[in-house]
Amino acid sequence: MAKKQKSPRPGTIAYSADRHEYYEKAVQCVESEIDMVDETYENLRGKKARFLREDFCGTGNTSCEWVQRHPKNTAIGLDLDQEVLDWGIQNKIAALSPKQQARINLVNQNVLNANCPPADVILAMNFSYQLFKTRDALRKYFEKARAGLADDGVFFIDAYGGHESYRQIKEKTSFDDFDYYWHQKKYNPITGEMLCHIHFKFKDNSWLNKAFTYDWRLWTLPEIQELLKEAGFSKVQVYWEGTDKKTGEGNGEYYPTNKGEDDPSWIVYIVSEK
């Protein structure tokens, strides 16, 4: 029998905490993500991308960043979860100027049935495509994404790996007013399936347990690249993160290469041209 999930006690920080707010603080960095997308598209195509489609958009935070970058930028975000979309509309879109609001639309739509004008750029970030657990299902999604692009469109996804990613671990990152936990709860090496949670712990020792849960297959980079090519993309390129010489840590700059390193834990972008 599944263990009953304890809700936070009334009066605690966790009780009144908004999970989307803490997710945004702990997980997302939409500014650097859009920097990478904007620059890479311009390098590849010799012009600026203007219309962005954000698949699995959640609260649409990345799309909001996009429409704030330029008065001609437009964005559409697709997600299946109306609660999450509503949060984005009320908290992120409402904070934009009326002109920016007119250039963004968050829609309750399955990415597999996307019905949108051809996009310059499609994003599927924070590893969301890993919810497709078979080669056929993932290839089908990649085919749909490719079909949704303009003729010179580019598809951006991220991926993670390294030997730490296969371990059942709970990794803590501390922020000023809370701790963020990335919890790799289960990993099955036979199917590649994994179950992960995000938890938040606050200064009064209250917890927002399982604020988010991901039931995924942890795909490897060769598998993902093969499937993107099978889906018809003409060029598929991994962008590896550069290293800060002083700290030895990632420097947030990504460059195209076919040679990675045996890091215990890495994140890359994969850029696919239609």
Ligand X SMILES: C[S@@+](CC[C@H](N)C(=O)[O-])C[C@H]1O[C@@H](n2cnc3c(N)ncnc32)[C@H](O)[C@@H]1O
In terms of CB distance, is 77 or 153 closer to ligand X?
Answer: 77
Q: Give counts: helices (H), strands (E), the chain.
A: 8, 12
Q: How many CA atoms lie within 13 A of 6 on its CB side?
A: 9
CA-CA distance, 262 to 246, in Å (whole number)? 19
22 in contact with ligand X (CB under 6 A): no
Q: Considering only residues 11, 29, 80, 167, which one is a binding residue for ligand X as defined by CB under 6 A?
A: 80
In terms of CB distance, is 142 or 206 closer to ligand X?
Answer: 142
CA-CA distance, 255 to 262, in Å (whole number)? 17
157 in contact with ligand X (CB under 6 A): no
In terms of CB distance, is 76 or 111 closer to ligand X?
Answer: 111
> What's the per-residue H, E or C state across 13-80?
HHHHCCHHHHHHHHCCCHHHHHHHHHHHHHHHHCCCCCEEEEECCCCCHHHHHHHHHCCCCEEEEEEC
Going through 80-118 in order, the beta strands assigned E by DSSP cover 104-108
Q: Which amino acid is at 173?
A: T
Q: Which helix (H) or strand (E) holds 16?
A: helix 13-16
84 in contact with ligand X (CB under 6 A): yes
In terms of CB distance, is 80 or 261 closer to ligand X?
Answer: 80
In terms of CB distance, is 206 or 271 closer to ligand X?
Answer: 271
CB of 83 to ligand X, least distance (A): 9
Polymer length of the chain: 274
The interface mask with ligand X, positions 30-69, x = CB under 6 A, is --------------------------xxx-----------
126 in contact with ligand X (CB under 6 A): yes
The interface mask with ligand X, positions 92-121, x = CB under 6 A, is ------------------xxx---------
CB of 64 to ligand X, least distance (A): 12
Question: For the chain, what is the radius of gyration of the CA atoms?
Answer: 19
Binding site for ligand X (CB under 6 A): 28, 56-58, 78-81, 84, 110-112, 125-126, 128, 131
